[in-house]
Amino acid sequence: MRKLWDFPGGIHPEENKHQSTGNGIQVPPLPEKLYVPLQQHIGAAAQVNVEPGDRVLKGQLLAAPEGRLSVAVHAPTSGTIDAITPHAVPHPSGMTDWCVVIRPDGTDSWAERQPVDDYHELDAPALLRLIRNAGIAGMGGAGFPTEIKLHPPVDDKVRTLILNGAECEPYITADDMLMRTRAREVVGGLEIMAYILEPEECIIGIEDNKPEAIAALRAAVEGTRIEVVVIPTKYPSGGEKQLIQILTGLEVPYQGIPADIGVMCQNVGTAAAVYRAIRHGEPLISRITTLTGEGLEQQTNVESLIGTPIGFLLDQYGFDPARTERLILGGPMMGFTLDNPDVPVIKTTNCVIAGSPREFPAPPPAQPCIRCSMCADSCPMELLPQQLFWFSQSQEFGKAEQHNLFDCIECGACSYVCPSSIPLVQYYRYSKGEIRKQREEQAKSDRARERFEARQARLERDQAEKEAKRKARAEAAAQAQAEKRAQAADTPNTGRQSASAAVQAALARKNASATESKPETAVSHAPAAPSLDELETNLTKAKAKLNTMQGLLKDAEAQGADTEKLARAVTKNQQRVDAAQQALDDASKANPTAETVAESPTDTADEVPLETLRTNLEKARNKLDTMQSMLDEARQQGADNIEKLERAVSKNKQRVAVAEAALSERELNNASAPEANSKQESVPAVEMAELEDALTKAQAKLDNMQAMLDEATANGNDNVDKLTRAVAKNHDRVARAQAALDDARNPSSTSA
């Protein structure tokens, strides 16, 4: 005889189980329509792969698992897909979710099944894959994907595999009936799980109020190593943590999982589903549901297809809405009420209670808490419910949390015993919700603060840099002035002085129109050689961009992310490279003519790069705006925007490259201009204005990059490194632009 432990607290509510066990497991007729939700489990919704109008067979895959934490969804019967549409689903909030609507054809014809006669021929990973593809999620309540659960962390060796057949909640008899009638399947499923996990012992835990199920299980485990352990009836012995405590004396550590202490708990229904999936190749498309409550003429268990509207099921057994006050999905202790009987049966629907006012009288008004601590005496988690209530009532959520509010399993024992009829669990749900909300807001404001501080630091740094540069410039200017004065003393030259005055004026007028000065500048432009250089630079940049994009695409493909957009970007870049190549070739061909034309005062070949630079800058500004809006969006959406940011970053890189190219061109122009045409006085000034303009833009871009980097750092994005490098590059570029500008200015003032 196995030693049993007890768990603290617990209650003995009226069981009310006999009403629904007298009629076996009935099979209701097919409903007119089935509404199969895509998400019936914890994790991501399955990805639908049928379309309206498709004909599907029973057991055919409707939706495939999406991501790691997900399971498949199958057609519960044969028929045609009517629609894929949002429909009311079983949820306390009464929300709607995506459902595949199937109109049964009545033939109930199976798709091809692939039964495994001897599961020993397969290895554990293969069996786990079958379980995942059969759409099996925990059928006890939470609906956690079974395959994941059967796949505990490598460090956690499961020594004790427990099958939970306690079914401690009043009214519910679905597991009881399953064990009575299909004990063989339950045991078979447990054997498969044991084959996967290789535990030291297998236990089926069952409350002593189910003698027939106990007898059936005992017969079924004959000759196996599985032990059927009968435990005393006490709510909530079927809670995973409580059952583990009863059977092993161990406690699941705080914030841990049972596997951490070498234990795993599975529901008996889940085991039966695993057996059917492996042995018969049948996916999880139906389950046993208890229909009970005085609002029904006949209280019974049914084998209900997933997706059957609950109202339809109830109607088959004499549902009288007039006699029903509460429609409860689940048990009376932890179930939630429905106001819409159209919601479908899902994989976790173990019970529906059409409760009459006599069974479930309206709760009396709550009286003040007298701290009688009956709640604490009944709490299986050894919490202090009365303290949690006080803290919840006074909204002292911090203290509630310190009193382990989040260990509450919401079993309802405290509310059940409360002599003041206080809806304690409701208070705890409220507090939990508020705390979660506060946490989110806290995280948000933390991010905002980090961003703000980073920005503040950056602004200060920029200010300091600007200050230093201005000083350097002022010194240089002073020096130049001194030199000039010295020169002027030797050979007075009004022309030179007026030239330097023009330089100053042009610098002040940063937005001076380039077109106006074009006729003047044209003469100063170096011939086609710089233009060729520029084109070559463009090509190099474009190639670099292309490589970056391809790298990104590869990464994205490796991660299975949204590759379409990246692919398009790569194509675009490819085109750009081609265009650049073309331009370079053209320019090379045109070179001789360009050289001759360059001599003339109106050099059209050189007008183009200036115009281009202007347009480029305009474009860059637009793009920056776009990026800014993306950034805003990203801020709102939190951290899900890695892809977008990546795209934005790569775009920004391109833009910066363009700016760089433009700048380098200007550098060349500037270097050559004063030498080529030192007599032309106003020309360097206009050049300078252009350069200043470009520099400002580059600086703006750098600022933006910095802001993005700050945000990415705050969000903990993966692309921080990339952004950091980009920012560093931009810094270099700005510095170079600045240097170029300074160079340009100095020679012009000295040579003037």
Partner 1 sequence: MAFLRLSSPHTRGPNKTSRVMLWVILCTLPGLLMQTVFFGWGNLINTALCVAIAIATEAAILKLRQRPVAFFIKDNTAAVTGLLLGLALPPLAPWWVCAVAVVVAIILAKQLYGGLGSNPFNPAMVGYALVLISFPVAMTTTWSSPTGYGSATPGFIETLQIIFGNAPVIDGYTMATPLDVYKHDIGAALSSEVLQHPAFGDFVARGWEWVNLAFLAGGIVLVVRRIISWHIPVSMLAALSVMSLAFGWDPDRYTPLSVHLLSGATMLGAFFIATDPVSAATSHKGKLVYGAGIGVLLYIIRAWGNYPDAVAFAVLLMNFAVPFIDYYTQPRTYGHKRSRRIKTSDS
**Residue 421 near residue 366, CB atoms below 8 Å:** yes
Of 411-419, 545-553, 592-600, 654-662, the window that binds partner 1 (rule: CB under 8 A) is: 411-419
Between 207 and 603, name the residue whose CB sits nearer to partner 1.
207
Instruction: Give the nearest distance from C-beta 13 to partner 1 in angstroms.
Output: 6
**Residue 177 near residue 135, CB atoms below 8 Å:** no
Q: From the list 189, 269, 412, 674, which residue makes contact with partner 1 (rule: CB under 8 A)? A: 412
Strands 336-338 and 351-355 turn out to be unpaired
Amino acid at 513: S
Of 25-33, 188-196, 282-290, 403-411, the window that binds partner 1 (rule: CB under 8 A) is: 403-411
Instruction: Give the nearest distance from C-beta 449 to partner 1 in angstroms.
Output: 19
Instruction: Give the nearest distance from C-beta 306 to partner 1 in angstroms.
Output: 23
Between 15 and 97, name the residue whose CB sits nearer to partner 1.
15
Between 325 and 667, name the residue whose CB sits nearer to partner 1.
325
Burial class (CB in 10 A: 0-12, 13-18, 19+), 135: buried
| 403 contributes a contact to partner 1 by CB under 8 A | yes
Between 399 and 496, name the residue whose CB sits nearer to partner 1.
399
Between 367 and 751, name the residue whose CB sits nearer to partner 1.
367
Say what the alpha-carbon torsion angle 259, 261, 262, 268 is, to the nearest 10 degrees: -60
Between 335 and 674, name the residue whose CB sits nearer to partner 1.
335
Q: What is the DSSP string of 672-686?
A: HHHHHTTT-SSHHHH
Instruction: Give the nearest distance from C-beta 349 to partner 1 in angstroms.
Output: 16
Rounded to 5°, the CA angle 247-248-250 comes to 130
Q: From the CB of residue 391, how many other CB atoms can be counted at a distance below 10 Å?
A: 22
Instruction: Give the nearest distance from C-beta 289 to partner 1 in angstroms.
Output: 18
Instruction: Give the nearest distance from C-beta 173 to partner 1 in angstroms.
Output: 16
Instruction: Give the nearest distance from C-beta 267 to partner 1 in angstroms.
Output: 19
> According to CB under 8 A, which residues from 237 to 256 bind partner 1?
241, 245, 251-254, 256
> According to CB under 8 A, which residues from 371 to 400 bind partner 1?
371-374, 376-377, 380-384, 386-387, 398-399
Q: From the list 224, 426, 596, 622, which residue makes contact with partner 1 (rule: CB under 8 A)? A: 426
127 backbone φψ class: left, alpha, beta (φ>0; ψ -120 to 50): alpha
| 419 contributes a contact to partner 1 by CB under 8 A | yes
Say what the alpha-carbon torsion angle 387, 391, 396, 399 is, to the nearest 10 degrees: 20
Of 208-216, 414-422, 538-546, 590-598, the window that binds partner 1 (rule: CB under 8 A) is: 414-422
The CA–CA distances, whole Å, from 30 to 25, 345, 653 equal 16, 13, 60
Q: In a 3-state reduction of DSSP, which class is residue 695?
A: helix
**Residue 29 near residue 77, CB atoms below 8 Å:** no
Residues that bind partner 1 (rule: CB under 8 A) add up to a total of 70
Between 412 and 684, name the residue whose CB sits nearer to partner 1.
412
| 264 contributes a contact to partner 1 by CB under 8 A | no
DSSP state of 67: S
Instruction: Give the nearest distance from C-beta 403 to partner 1 in angstroms.
Output: 7
Stretch 345-364: interaction string toward partner 1, x if CB under 8 A: ----------x----x-xx-
Helices 494-508 and 720-751, interaxial angle, to 10°?
160
Q: In a 3-state reduction of DSSP, which class is residue 141?
A: coil
- For residue 178, which of 187, 58, 170, 169 has the smallest C-alpha distance? 187
Instruction: Give the nearest distance from C-beta 298 to partner 1 in angstroms.
Output: 20
| 425 contributes a contact to partner 1 by CB under 8 A | yes
| 272 contributes a contact to partner 1 by CB under 8 A | no
Between 67 and 363, name the residue whose CB sits nearer to partner 1.
363
Instruction: Give the nearest distance from C-beta 138 to partner 1 in angstroms.
Output: 19
For CA atoms 16, 19, 22, 26, give the dihedral sign.
negative
Between 37 and 341, name the residue whose CB sits nearer to partner 1.
341
Q: How far apart are CA 436 and CA 641, in angstroms?
A: 22
Q: How far apart are CA 620 and CA 617, in angstroms?
A: 5
The CA–CA distances, whole Å, from 189 to 206, 258, 275, 277, 373 equal 16, 20, 4, 9, 43
Instruction: Give the nearest distance from C-beta 252 to partner 1 in angstroms.
Output: 5
Instruction: Give the nearest distance from C-beta 394 to partner 1 in angstroms.
Output: 12
Stretch 587-606: interaction string toward partner 1, x if CB under 8 A: --------------------
Q: How far apart are CA 72 and CA 62, in angstroms?
A: 8
Between 112 and 339, name the residue whose CB sits nearer to partner 1.
339
Instruction: Give the nearest distance from C-beta 730 to partner 1 in angstroms.
Output: 43
Q: Which two tokens stand for residue 636?
A: 């709102």
Stretch 161-180: interaction string toward partner 1, x if CB under 8 A: ---------x----------
**Residue 37 near residue 97, CB atoms below 8 Å:** yes
**Residue 545 near residue 653, CB atoms below 8 Å:** yes
Q: From the list 298, 404, 591, 724, which residue makes contact with partner 1 (rule: CB under 8 A)? A: 404
| 19 contributes a contact to partner 1 by CB under 8 A | no
> According to CB under 8 A, which residues from 309 to 348 bind partner 1?
321, 324-328, 330, 332-339, 341
| 431 contributes a contact to partner 1 by CB under 8 A | no
Residue 728, CB half-sphere, CA atoms under 13 Å: how many? Answer: 6
The string over 192-207, giving b where at least 16 C-beta atoms fall within 10 Å of a residue's C-beta and e elsewhere, is bbbebbebeebbbbbb
Q: How far apart are CA 71 and CA 138, in angstroms?
A: 11
Instruction: Give the nearest distance from C-beta 439 to partner 1 in angstroms.
Output: 15
Q: From the list 415, 563, 715, 719, which residue makes contact with partner 1 (rule: CB under 8 A)? A: 415
Instruction: Give the nearest distance from C-beta 304 to partner 1 in angstroms.
Output: 20
Q: How far apart are CA 44 and CA 40, in angstroms?
A: 9
Site residues (CB under 8 A) for partner 1?
Answer: 7-8, 11, 13-14, 170, 241, 245, 251-254, 256, 321, 324-328, 330, 332-339, 341, 355, 360, 362-363, 365, 367-374, 376-377, 380-384, 386-387, 398-399, 402-404, 407, 410, 412, 415-421, 423, 425-426, 429
